[in-house]
Chain A
Amino acid sequence: MLGQNEQGIKKRMEGRVLINKIMMVLFFLATTVGLVFLALLFYRVLTQGIGYLSWDFISSFPAPYPEDAGIWAGLIGSILLMVIVAIVSVIIGVASAIYLEEYASQNKFTDFIRVNIQNLAGVPSIVFGLLGLTFFVYMFNYGYTLIAGGLTMALLILPVIVVASQEALRSVPSEIQEASYGMGASKWQTIARVILPAALPGILTGTIIALSRAIGETAPLIIVGAATAIFTLPDSLLAKYTVMPIQIYNWTGRPQEEWQFVAGAGIIVLLAILLLMNSIAVLIRNKFQRRL
């Protein structure tokens, strides 16, 4: 009798172990689906775009024929836009984080700001486009210009920068702050000369990641009117501009197949710049990752 029972258990055991193995393989395969699609995407973009990628492509303005079209206006536009976005969002974002971490007292108003930032991070980017259209394009009368686009994008990535900076500030050990106070430094002196420098690598990494998200954003810039075809580079904050994703979107929408290859070439440039920014972020993180 006992033997039978044991045999039954053994049999069931084998089944359970087998199912465990099968499911493990299944879980692994599911994980690879995402990776496979990533690889396919890169392969597809490279094979489609590489033929049209050349120095001429990078340094040319839009053109009516695929062979002559280039991404220069978008490349420079994206870089200029990022400069504006970085300046505005870093100043406001880091200041907000310092306020929330170092000055704000625990009360309803502080909680309100925190919850608000969290919710803002979940607002679809296209809604920020509508905000920019109403305020910057029409109300402030900037029109479809670099500054209108820059301010819209700065507000869009503001929550990311605030949260990243808060984390960086929080990770500064309190011992070195107390040492600073112990030397007779005031609160602001401690923040400016001790806490901020120590938190800087974290803030920089977060900022670069937020900017690399902004450089690929398309929807809000379409709404605030980044041009699809311009033949001069922006020379002031109130100049017309375009960015790489908008040019790519424009090429994608054309019926002739050659334009798909042009779009592919544009995507290679865009992804190369993203890769560059991300490597800088990783580099900063690795270089400064030391225990304080």
Chain B
Amino acid sequence: MDKSLQSGGNRLNVQQMIEQRKQKTSFGERIEKIIPWFLLLCAVVSVLTTVGILFTLLRESVGFFSDVSLVDFYTGTSWSPWSGEYGVAPLIGGTLLITLIATVVAVPLGLMSAIFLSEYANDKARRVIKPVLEVLAGIPTVVYGYFALTFVTPMFQSFIPDLGIFNALSGGFVVGIMIIPMVASLSEDAMNSVPNALREGAYGLGATKLEVVFKVVLPAAFSGIVASIVLAISRAIGETMIVTIAAGATPNLTMDPTQSIQTMTAFIVQAATGDTTFGSTIYYSLYAVGMTLFVFTLIMNLIAQYISRRFREEY
């Protein structure tokens, strides 16, 4: 108002000022109305991404299954796409073998770390160890692959002489190391949320710390622990670079961990880097394998969500 009084010639009267003010408000009001729609549009992107993934996998798989029958794909035991054999069992077998080895490594180590951090370690130790452990989860998987190939395999070879350069054992082992922090961190959260009153009740009855852990804390935190394990397994199923680098590219239907195998993810990488022409059967097989992988991990993730929702203990 002062300004309009000072600038002599361009003096506005009150009515004009009200008009101006009104226009400003209506601009502000328009913003207020547009913004939520813009934000909603952005939130829908994640839904569209899911739809896009489903659409992609389904549409291209249909292309694949018009060349290869669904039954042959899931019951065949020979995977050799460059000579026209599309039985996915060796890839699924390889994936399960890697996942099994990783689980055997990660679950005991992760759980024991979680017990140590949550029940035995003092605050100071926990504050140092936990973030350092979580660094493991942030290491790029291509680095793990390099580590598996150039360090872990030679190490294993020193006591398993007929271990090949590419083998399921080192791949699975290193995947296991990678998912330790997932099991440890989520299980520790679950154990931490068990109220102290329960522990003190047990101590009052004369239990040792170990007895409190096994008879009170672990049962009380059970659902959280199982959910963390299922999530870690899902991560192991979808792991790509470690197994591509360290486990080889031999679609082998074997449970022998010293053999070279190929996982679903490793095949996708191999086919995508090789001479795969757009529209060929091998190109479409990428999506059929991708779809199978997607379904596996989706089921695991849904189970984890169900467990943590259904069995959540309320204290």
A residues with a Cβ closer than 8 A to B are 16-17, 19-20, 23-24, 26-28, 30-31, 33-35, 37-38, 40-41, 44-45, 48, 91-93, 95-96, 98-100, 103-104, 112-113, 115-120, 122-131, 133-135, 138, 155, 158-159, 162, 186-188, 212-213, 215-219, 222-223, 225, 245, 248-249, 252-253, 260, 263-264, 267, 270-271, 274, 278
Contact = CB atoms under 8 A, between A and B. Distances in A.
B43 A100 contact: yes
B238 A125 contact: yes
Contacts of A93: 42
26 contacts: A20-B208, A20-B209, A27-B112, A30-B108, A31-B113, A35-B129, A45-B146, A91-B42, A112-B47, A113-B44, A119-B298, A122-B297, A122-B301, A123-B238, A124-B293, A124-B297, A127-B294, A130-B53, A130-B287, A131-B49, A131-B56, A216-B138, A216-B140, A217-B140, A218-B240, A249-B244
Given A20-B211, A31-B129, A127-B57, 9 more contacts: A16-B210, A34-B181, A44-B151, A100-B43, A122-B297, A131-B52, A186-B28, A216-B138, A218-B240
Contact of B46 (A31, A116, A138): A116
Nearest to B133: A34
A234 to B, nearest CB: 20
Interface string B269-300: 10011000010000000110010011001101
B198 interface: no
A44 to B, nearest CB: 5
A30 B237 contact: no
A238 to B, nearest CB: 19
Interface string B228-254: 000100100111110011000000000
A115 to B, nearest CB: 8
A34 B146 contact: no
A23 B210 contact: yes
The B contact surface, by secondary structure, is helix
A67 B202 CA distance: 65
B31 A245 contact: no
Given A34-B180, A45-B147, A218-B140, A95 B38 contact: yes
Given A99-B43, A123-B294, A216 B139 contact: yes
A27 B136 contact: no
Contact of B138 (A33, A91, A135, A278): A278
The A contact surface, by secondary structure, is helix
Interface of B: 28, 31-32, 35-36, 38-47, 49-50, 52-53, 56-57, 60, 108-109, 112-113, 115-117, 120-121, 129, 132-133, 135-136, 138-147, 149-151, 177, 180-181, 184, 208-211, 231, 234, 237-241, 244-245, 265, 268-269, 272-273, 278, 286-287, 290, 293-294, 297-298, 300-302, 305
Nearest to A100: B43
Contacts of A225: 272
B133 to A, nearest CB: 5
Contacts of A96: 39, 42-43, 45-46
A75 B313 CA distance: 48
A44 B290 CA distance: 34
A261 to B, nearest CB: 10
Contacts of B151: 40-41, 44
B138 A126 contact: no
Contacts of B302: 119
A100 to B, nearest CB: 6
Contact of A130 (B129, B146, B286): B286
Contact of A119 (B36, B45, B50, B184): B50
